[in-house]
Amino acid sequence: MNLKNLSAQNKTHKKLIKHLKDKKILKVFNQFSKNIGFKKNLAVAASGGPDSLSLAFLAKCFALKNNVKVKCYIVNHQLRKNSSEESLIVKNMIKKIHIDCKILTWNGKKPLNNIQSKARDKRYSLLAKECKKDDISNLLIGHHFDDLLENFLIRLVRGSGLKGLISFNKKTKYKKNQNLKILRPLIDQEKKDLIYISKKVFNFFIKDPFNINEDFKRTRMRHLLLSLQREGLDKKKILLTISNLQDSDNSIKFYVDKNLKENVIFLKKKKIYILNKNFFNQSHEIIFRSLTKMIQMLGNKYYPVRGKSISKLINGINAKVFSKVTLGGCYIDRVNETILISKEN
């Protein structure tokens, strides 16, 4: 890098760090840094919304203060006519704060139904592949506090169990690559504060038209949440409820691990789980979680099988009217008193 470019870069870096003098921005940055809690290279998933642009800015400040490298990936789903143009705009915007940025494009035929879910799966797949190529083991996602509440309401409406209701954690491992950690360092932040940061730093963000399309359940839940807030809903009380549920979830995890250790044999070469009859002498939630975990791992799925399918499976096994079924990329079969779970060919 020549002296002129180095001087321009240093000037930009000083300007970025100067934003941290803003008390509101500094408060968000301090919580962001605490949530990351390490000094390793990282990557940011960006879309151009205020959450991901704020994430890119905060990650760059963190990188400057801790002498680590940060990359940025933008996924172009090509689901909208102007998505490619928007991706280039976002890339150029992020490059202005001196983050190495790359666009990842979803090529090929697009789904006609369940679009958001399938697009999310493809997005994580593209991001994970690029992280592996760049030897990055920490991927930052822009999920924030409002996303956490929306997700809680969506799962509540679906009748999800305890695990589903608290599905957003600050740190999770990517199921298809256990070396990749998915981090959500903005999960404590409200969207209004991220909009504030995006305007202050970039004076720009993209409004995703999918966010106002009421064909999607998440959009309807977002509007419902706004209505509930106008009626006096206290967001912090929902957060307290989620926190209490997380404590209960940790207790259940202990007994799920115990059930898997004592009542399951895994034949690694054949990729078969063998469940003895004591496996089912547990509470419904322990059996439910144990089956969900095995099927998800063996089927190599990012998201677990829907709860109603697992409950139907358990009911069939308990009623002894169970015959071989396919679920989540696995075969589930009975041999005498033993249940076998094998990977679908």
End residue of a domain, out of 233, 262, 285: 233
Is residue 52 located within the same domain as residue 200? Answer: yes
CA 219 to each of CA 223, 225, 303, 322, 333: distance values in angstroms, whole numbers, following the listed order: 6, 10, 21, 39, 40
43 in any annotated domain: yes
Q: What is the pLDDT of residues 210-264, one digit of tens each?
A: 555 556 677 788 777 777 777 777 778 888 888 899 899 899 999 999 999 999 9
The residue from 233, 264, 293 where one domain ends is 233
pLDDT, tens digit, 9 for 90 and up, residues 174-225 = 867 668 899 999 998 998 999 999 999 998 888 765 555 556 677 788 777 7
Q: Examine residue 199 and state whether it is found in any structural domain, yes or no.
A: yes
Average pLDDT, the chain: 87
Q: Are 105 and 76 in contact (CB under 8 A)?
A: yes
Dihedral angle of Cα 321, 327, 333, 338, to the nearest 10 degrees: -90
Q: 245 in a domain, yes or no?
A: no
Do 10 and 86 belong together in one domain?
Answer: yes
281: Cα within 13 Å, side-chain hemisphere: 7
Please tell me whether residues 65 and 141 are part of one structural domain.
yes
> Is 107 within a domain?
yes
Number of domains making up the chain:
2
* Each residue's pLDDT tens digit, 108-148: 888 777 777 788 888 999 999 999 999 999 999 999 988 88
Contact between residue 45 and residue 142 where contact means Cβ atoms under 8 Å apart:
yes
Alpha-carbon gap, residue 107 to 285, rounded angstroms: 40
Regarding whether 279 and 202 lie in a shared domain, the answer is no
**What residues make up the domain containing 29?**
3-233
Which residue type sits at 305? Answer: V
Q: Are residues 73 and 169 in the same domain?
A: yes
Inside any domain, residue 246 = no
Radius of gyration from C-alpha coordinates of the chain: 23
Same domain flag for 140 and 259: no
Instruction: Report percent pLDDT > 70 for the chain.
Output: 94
In terms of domains, do 55 and 174 share one?
yes
Query: Are residue 265 and residue 162 in the same domain, yes or no?
Result: no
| Residue 139 included in any domain | yes
- Residue 165 inside a domain? The answer is yes
CATH number at residue 35: 3.40.50.620
Note whether 187 and 324 are same-domain residues: no
**220 and 267 together in one domain:** no
Indicate the pTM of the whole model. Answer: 0.77
End position of a domain, from candidates 233, 267, 294: 233
Cβ atoms within 10 A of the Cβ of 7, count? 11
338 contact partners, CB below 8 Å, separation of at least 6: 274, 275, 276, 277
**Alpha-carbon span 90 to 204, nearest angstrom:** 9
133 in the same domain as 37: yes
